[in-house]
Amino acid sequence: MGKQLAKKITWAIENFSSLYSKKIYSDPFIVGGCKWRFLVYPKGNNVDYLFLYLEVADYESLSPGWRRHARYLLNVVNQNSVKRSKQNEEQKWFDVQSPRWGRLSMFPLNEINAKDSGFLVNGELKIVAEIEVLEVIGKLDVSEETSTIMESMDFNGFQLLPSQVDFVRHMFEKHPEIASEFRLKNPNLRAGYMSLLLSLIETLRQSPQELNKVDLAEAYVALGSITDAGFKVDWLEKKLVEISEKKNKEEAGETRMQEINEELESLKQKCLDLEAQLEKEKAERKLHQVSMGKQYDKKITWTIKNFASLPSDLIYSDHFVVGGCKWHLRVYPKGYNNANSLSLFLGVAVPTSLPSGWRRHTKFRLTLVNQLSDKLSQSKLNELEQWFDEKTTNWGLPSMCPLNEIHAKDSGFLLNGELKIVVEIKVLETIGKLDVTEETSTITETVDVNGFQLLPSQAKSVSRMFEKHPELATDLRPKNPNLRTGYMSLLLSLIETLSQLPQQMSKDDLLDAYDALGSMRDAGFKLDWLEKKLYEVSEKKENEEASETGLKEMEEELKDMKQKCLEMEALVEKEKAKNSDQAYLKKEKQRVSGPRIKELEEQVKKRKLTLSDLESELKKEKAAALASKVRISFRDVV
C-alpha cells in the first residue's frame, strides 16, 4: 500500500486534575484508513510523570499478521506559549506484540499542575498529534472516501459554474474592459475573485429594504478587494453609491409618502383579509379531494433562525423556482402593520423584470410547522388558489397564527429558536415568458456550513477545515450571506492553488496568493496556518528552481565528458590504424609502439568510469526531483 498523507488530531481532556481513573482513552479516530486512539495515565504509572501513548484501536479484532508503519508526533500543548509545549516524534511499526507506542514518562505532573504553567487552562489539558501512515499490512479499517467534482466552464480565462456563464457573458458584453487589467494569472484565484464579484453584484441586486448599513459597509470593503485585484468596476461603484443614497433617503423618510403608503397598505390589508377568508373557506373544502402528492409540483422548506430576536419588520426567503417561475416567501415577524398575528405571503420574485401583461395562475399551500406535533402543524395549514399579476404580486395570510401562540413555551413552533415554514406549489397556468425554462435551467443547490452557503461538493472539505481550525471565522466581519459565500469561495480557491505542484505555479501565482491571503485576513479570517503553508510552498518553489539549475549544470558537464571520451576513443583508433600499416610500423618502430596505445586506452577507461559515475549521480538527482513533484491534497494544505 502507498504512503498516506499526514493528519493532525486534537484531544482536549477536561477537568484533568480531578480525574480519578488510572488511565483514560480518547475516542477512536481515523488516519490512513486505520483506526487509532490515545492512551493517557493522568496520575502517572507508579511514578509522578505523565504517560502518553498512540494506540491501534480495537487491535484485538484485526486479522492475524496485521502491521502498521507510522510516523507520529505527540505534543502536549502549552496554551500560553507554543515554545514551552512538550513534543515527542518517532517512527514505529505497530503490531499485535506492540499495539501502542509513546513516552513512558512524558514530563513531570507537578509541572503540568503548576499554577499559571499554561498546560492547564480552565482545567483543560490539550494533546495534539500529527500522524502519517507509511505502510499498512492487512485490511484497512475504513475504505477511502470518494469525492464529488462540480463541473466548471472556462469563459475569458475564468472557471465558472454552468449557471454563471450567461450572466458573466452579459457582464463582459456590457463592460468589455472589466478584466483588461486584472493582475492575477492563477486560475483558482481568478475563479475566487470572480465569485466575490458575483456575490457583490447579487448583494446589490437586493432591494434597499433587504440591505442594512452593515451590508453596505461590507460591500464597500469587498469592492476595494476586487478593485485592488485589477477589476475595472467603476459602474459597480456608481451603483453602490446610488443604493447607499437611496438607503439614506429611505431611512430619512418622506412624511407624505409614508402616510400614502400606510393608507394604501391598510386598504390592501382589508382586501387581503376578505380574500384570504374567502380562499381559506375554499381551501378547506378542497383538502379532502386530492392527495398531497398529486396536488403540488414542489415543496419548499424555509427555516428562520433566531426568530424571536429578529429586528426586521419584514424578511424575505431566498428565491426558488417552480414551474419555470421564480418565487419567494415574505414574513412579517411582528405581524402586518404591528398586528398580533404572524403574516405570511408567497410572492413573485423580481416582478419588475417581467414583460408587460404577465400573469400566473397558482395553487399553493402554506404550512406553519409544529416541530413537536404534526397534528398541530395541520391546524396552521392553509391552501390558496390565485392569479398573480402586475397589480397583485403577493398572496398570503395576514393572520397566519397568533404571535403569542408561536412564542408560548413548549408550543412546538419554535425549536432552538428556529421557526419552520413549508410552502407547496403547483403552477396551473402562465401567461407571458417564463423566468427559467425547465429544459435549460441550472439551479445550484447549496447547504449551510457554519453560516456559509456552499455547494454540496464543498461541504465536507469546509466542515473538516472548521474542525481543524474552529477559530477560522470567529472574527469574520461580513454578515451578508452573499459576501460571506464570496469570501469562502476565495479561500477555497487559494487552498486549491496551494494544492498544485510547485512546477505548475509561477512566482506571479505566489504573489497573487499573498494578495488574496491579505484580502481574506482583512475580512477577518484567522489564517496563520494557511500563511505558514504558503511560506512553505514558496520555499519549496525556490528550492525546486535551484535544484533544476543544478541538474542543468550537471547535464552540461556530462555532455562535455561524453564528447571528450569520443575524442579519446577516436585517437586510440587512429593509433591502432597506424600500427596496422606494416610499412609505417617499420619506420616508426622506435617512436610509436604498443605502450602508447595502452596508455591511451587506460585514459579512455578512466574517463568512461568518471562518465558512468556522473550519469548515476544525475539519475539520482532526477529521481529525487521527481519524487518531490507530488501534488498535495486539500487536507494537507488545511
d(CA 169, CA 156): 9
pLDDT tens-digit map of 517-559: 999 999 999 999 999 998 988 888 888 777 667 667 777 777 7
Contact by Cβ (8 Å): 204, 236: yes
Bridge partner list, 93? 69
Verify that 495 and 553 share a domain, yes or no: no
In whole angstroms, what is the distance from residue 489 CA to residue 164 CA? 14
pLDDT per residue as tens digits for the range 34-71: 999 999 998 888 888 889 999 999 999 899 999 999 99
Identify whether residues 410 and 305 lie together within a single domain: yes
pLDDT at residue 600, as a whole number: 67
Cell of 137: 499490512
Q: Both 266 and 385 in a single domain?
A: yes
Say yes or no: 281 and 420 in one domain. Answer: yes
> pLDDT band at 13, cuts 50/70/90?
very high
How much is the average pLDDT of 384-411? 89
Report if residue 438 sits inside a domain.
no
Domain-located, residue 540: no
Given 526, 558, 577, which residue is the final one in a domain? 526
**Strand ranges inside 212-358, DSSP E:** 298-304, 315-316, 320-322, 325-332, 341-348
Residues 289 and 416 in one domain: yes
What are the respective helix, strand and coil percentages of the chain, to the nearest 5?
45, 25, 30
Residue 624: predicted pLDDT: 60
Q: Which residue has the cell 424555509?
A: 302
- Please check whether residue 581 is in contact with residue 620, taking contact to mean a CB–CB distance below 8 angstroms: no
Distances from the Cα of 433 to the Cα of 270, 324, 455, angstroms: 32, 9, 29
- The predicted pLDDT at position 6 comes to 67
What is the residue range of 360's domain? Answer: 262-431
- CA angle 191/193/195 to nearest 5° reads 70
Confidence of residue 146 (pLDDT cuts 50, 70, 90): very low
> Has residue 630 got a pLDDT over 60?
no
* Stretch among 110-119, 280-289, 299-308 having the lowest mean pLDDT: 280-289
User: Is 385 within the bounds of a domain?
Assistant: yes
pLDDT digits (tens, 9 = 90+) for 168-182: 999 999 999 999 999
- The Cα 491–Cα 475 span in angstroms is 15
> Are 513 and 567 in the same domain?
no
- Alpha-carbon gap, residue 186 to 509, rounded angstroms: 5
If we measure between CA atoms, which residue out of 38, 27, 112, 119 comes closest to residue 72?
38
397 and 280 assigned to the same domain:
yes
Q: Are 94 and 37 in contact (CB under 8 A)?
A: no
Q: What distance in Å separates the CA atoms of residue 527 and residue 476, rounded to the nearest whole number?
A: 11
Average pLDDT, integer, range 243-271:
78
Same domain? 267 vs 242: no
For residues 423 and 396, the answer to whether their CB atoms sit within 8 Å is no
Checking if the pLDDT of 623 tops 80, the result is: no
- Local structure of residue 169 (DSSP, 8 states): H
In a domain, 162, yes or no: yes
- Residues 461-476 pLDDT 10s: 899 999 999 999 999 9
pLDDT in tens, 584-600: 555 555 454 556 667 76
Q: What percent of the chain has pLDDT over 70?
A: 82
Evaluate whether residue 298 is within a structural domain: yes
Domain count of the fold of the chain: 4
Q: Is the pLDDT of residue 341 over 70?
A: yes
Half-sphere exposure of residue 579: CA atoms within 13 angstroms, side-chain side: 16
CA gap 507, 511 in Å, rounded: 6
Q: What is the pLDDT of residue 2?
A: 39
pLDDT band, very low/low/confident/very high, at 5 (cuts 50, 70, 90): very low
Whether residue 424 sits in one domain with residue 294? yes
SS3 sequence of 485-499:
HHHHHHHHHHHHHHC
- pTM across the whole model: 0.42
For the ranges 22-36, 398-412, 433-447, 511-525, which has the lowest average pLDDT? 433-447
CATH of the domain at 74: 2.60.210.10
- The lowest-confidence range among 3-7, 129-133, 342-346 is 3-7
Neighbours of 251 (CB within 10 A): 10
Give the pLDDT confidence score for residue 580 in this predicted structure: 56
Residue 294 in domain? yes
Mean per-residue pLDDT of the chain: 81
Residues 47 and 100 in one domain: yes
Q: Looking at residue 399, what is its pLDDT?
A: 86
Which one is predicted more confidently, 140 or 199?
Answer: 199
The CB density around residue 387, as the number of other CB atoms within 10 Å, is 13
Write the single-letter amino acid at 445.
E
> Phi/psi of residue 226, each to 5°?
-65, -40
Average pLDDT over residues 267-288: 71
pLDDT digits (tens, 9 = 90+) for 64-98: 999 999 999 998 988 888 788 888 889 999 999 99
541 occurs within a structural domain: no
> To which H or E segment does residue 365 belong?
strand 359-368
Q: Are residues 550 and 573 in the same domain?
A: yes
Across 308-320, average pLDDT = 88
In this structure, which amino acid lies at residue 267?
Answer: L
Q: For residue 606, is it within any domain?
A: yes
- Residues 280, 365, single domain; the answer is yes
